[in-house]
Structure 1
Amino acid sequence: MSLRCSSLIVLTLCGLLLNGLLLFWKLTDPELSVAGCGGGGCSAVLGSRWSQVFGIPVVAPGLVVYGLLLAALLWRKDFLASFCYASIGGAALWFIFAQVVFLRQFCPWCMAAHAVGCAVACIGLMEKPLKAGLQSGAAAVFGLALGQWYGPVPATHRITSEAQAHGTPPAAIHERGEGRKVAYDGGRKSFNVSTLPRIGSADARHVLIEYHDFQCPACRKMSGFLGALVEKHPEDICIILLPVPLDRACNSQLKPTDEGHPGS
């Protein structure tokens, strides 16, 4: 076995380990299982929409491809190896691009996995890979990118049993004063459209409620979409804006059991 092949096998095992670790975190950390949640760094990246495609964590197919590459190296399947070089390297570049351009935050573990992927691709390309395999791998990465860009956006909220267990609250501060009132959740939540901070007309046909955090990257991105929505339908859409900081330094109302999210 050549030194180049041995290096590829070692890197492939590293890729399997890193992708397996990231998948474990993605599936077991409840904060990461909902896209858009997380305070920053690893949580922001692993909890973003770019960490999934059609509801599947992207590290799952990554594990499969690394497994295929290991088999291709051990049993000398040139087409399969070429496919893996292109798909692993292309995916690494795509997700580095997503962190730099879309998220502007970085997960060290993800970047380590991408570095391994780039190394695998560079060494693999020195092995005179088959053109058909490279084209197939590039097409797979292109399909992944299209699926994330145009496919369904993962849900960014969760309805928990704790939230459902609350009884009818007393008259909320959000409905105080004169003006138009709207109610949600069977009347358990009421809001005064006329007096609360909002964008859009208080007489709009549809009223949305946004709970947001000024330091939350996902909220910051969503604000642009909501502003564009109101601008497009100024008479039909109104959005009530309610800030809910998740940093204990900004919000003394967080429960003692809530660790909070510094920087959010």
Structure 2
Amino acid sequence: MSETQAKKSDSAKDRVVGATARWSMRLLALIALGVSALLFVIAVTEAKAPGCTGDSPCDAVLSSSWSYWMGVPVSALALANYVVMIVALFQLTSADMTRRRVAWLVLIALSAATAGTAVWMTMVMYSKVHAFCPYCLVAHGCGLLIAGLVAFVAPVGTNLRSSPAFSVRPLPAGVAALVGFVTVGVLIAGQHGPENDEFKPPSIVPVESSAAIRVLKAGTEDAVLDIPFARMTFKISEVPVLGSRSAPHFIVSLFDYTCHHCKIMHGHIGKIRERYGDQLGFVALPVPLSPGCNPSVKVRHEAHQHACTLAGIALRVARASPAVFEQFDDWMFDHKKAPDPKKALWYAEKLVDARELAKPEVKAWSKDQIAQDIRLHHSLSRKSLPVLLIDKPRFSNPKKTEDLFVVIEKTFGIEPVSAETD
């Protein structure tokens, strides 16, 4: 074979390799785009993806502060990244040489950012959250493969596999890669920033639509909360309550102090109470998301490792001194993440005599109450947290906080005591 024929053969092989790589990158980018879109929908609607129930490693990742950047879902950034990447990928065969060079520089920058982000977020899942999200891993895997293909076929200097007659100068390519890696640094800095946990309220608030909940002898010391579908009753005087125990109406709140979404729900409950005053009370029933005390939870992960202990401390406070439970409950949710048991007990003993908290009958009651709360939660069709049980909800999953006001006012026939709703 002559030298000319060999060069033609190599050129043909390069074109085949380049075309295969381009279509492979397009396919991978489309897959990553689809996964990112799904994760974005989950982030903004508080919906649950298959396999991402309230006690799953997947939910632990998606509900952690690491899934946000300066209050913005990381999936939104990924979505924008892959949209631009796909546009650039389809410009690689443009007849306009300038457009092709720009497309390659954009791809080099984005692939560097994507690879760096994939490595960083995987490290976060391993070392910070101690759980893995399969959807995230699929997207990160696609990103790493795209980055590898870009490095293999990008026509930088003598690396001309994608187009022997076309190249991108090394200096602009290096600058593009540097920009991509700097972007990763910005992401990391934003996740460590002070606004990292300042999330927007959820646009979908879980409301269990089930048989009516009744308050018998409302407004008296003998008031009883009757939950027919669970075949359970709770004496209002004996359970933790936010608001007035003599309120004519009650909503049941099922939550976990280690649950990120429950922290957001706590803020909503505060707004509801401010709006309706003593017309409405909340029965606060902690449901620990830990297999240590909750047999319905099958997966153990670090985010909820102290859930049982924290719930027990809160209930002991509620039992020993009901008047200070609300203060303790607010304090528990006033942290970026749940305090450890030692700190929680320290604060509890500031509010209540330590001897009262340590009484065997108080500890026994808190243990029994947790078991009842878990049984109530297990009876629901919705197994995630948080959950609000309203007397006669007209619908589930309101799209915004104000929808809860509508449900409450229609259900209980009450009006705001304050015009302030924001």
Per the shorter chain, which TM-score range?
0.5 to 0.7
Secondary structure, aligned partner of 2:33:
helix
Distance 1:175 1:84, change over 3 A: closer
Specify which of 280, 288, 312 is matched with residue 167 of structure 1: 280
Q: Distance in 1 between matches of 2:316 and 2:58?
A: 36
Specify which of 70, 73, 76 is matched with residue 57 of structure 1: 73
1:56 shift after superposition: 0.6
1:260 shift after superposition: 3.6
Q: What is residue 119 of structure 2 aligned with on the other side? A: 93
1:23 shift after superposition: 0.9
Partner letter of residue 40 of structure 1?
S
What is the aligned-residue identity percentage?
20
Q: What is residue 296 of structure 2 aligned with on the other side? A: none
Tell me if the contact between 2:69 and 2:187 (Cα under 8 Å) persists in the aligned partners. yes
1:251 shift after superposition: 2.3
Distance 1:131 1:151, change over 3 A: farther
Q: What is residue 23 of structure 2 aligned with on the other side? A: 6
Partner letter of residue 12 of structure 1?
A
Q: What is residue 82 of structure 1 aligned with on the other side? A: 108
Distance 1:244 1:9, change over 3 A: farther
1:209 shift after superposition: 3.9
Distance 1:93 1:238, change over 3 A: farther
Tell me if the contact between 2:114 and 2:143 (Cα under 8 Å) persists in the aligned partners. yes
Distance 1:62 1:209, change over 3 A: same
1:97 shift after superposition: 0.6
Q: Deviations over 1:107-157 (max 9, x none)?
A: 111111111111111111113461111100000011101110134232541
Structure 2 portions without partners, runs of 5+: 1-17, 92-99, 157-172, 199-259, 284-314, 358-362, 386-422
Is residue 2:130 matched to residue 1:104? yes
Q: Distance in 2 between matches of 1:26 and 1:59?
A: 8
Q: Distance in 2 between matches of 1:120 and 1:54?
A: 27
Number of aligned positions between the proteins = 221
Q: What is residue 29 of structure 1 aligned with on the other side? A: 46
Q: Distance in 2 between matches of 1:169 and 1:13?
A: 46
Q: Deviations over 1:32-69 (max 9, x none)?
A: 9xxxx942222111111011011110011111111111
Query: Per residue, is there more helix in 1 or in 2?
Result: 2
1:254 shift after superposition: 3.3
Is residue 2:394 matched to residue 1:252? no
Q: What is residue 201 of structure 1 aligned with on the other side? A: none
Secondary structure, aligned partner of 1:210:
helix
Normalising by structure 2, we get a TM-score of 0.44
Q: Distance in 2 between matches of 1:249 and 1:127?
A: 61
Q: What is residue 188 of structure 2 aligned with on the other side? A: 145
Q: What is residue 179 of structure 2 aligned with on the other side? A: 136
Partner letter of residue 186 of structure 2?
G
Secondary structure, aligned partner of 1:154:
coil
Tell me if the contact between 1:38 and 1:47 (Cα under 8 Å) persists in the aligned partners. no
Tell me if the contact between 1:175 and 1:190 (Cα under 8 Å) persists in the aligned partners. no
Higher Cα radius of gyration = 2
Distance 1:80 1:169, change over 3 A: closer
Tell me if the contact between 2:317 and 2:324 (Cα under 8 Å) persists in the aligned partners. no
Secondary structure, aligned partner of 2:56:
coil
Q: Distance in 2 between matches of 1:13 and 1:141?
A: 22
1:257 shift after superposition: 3.4
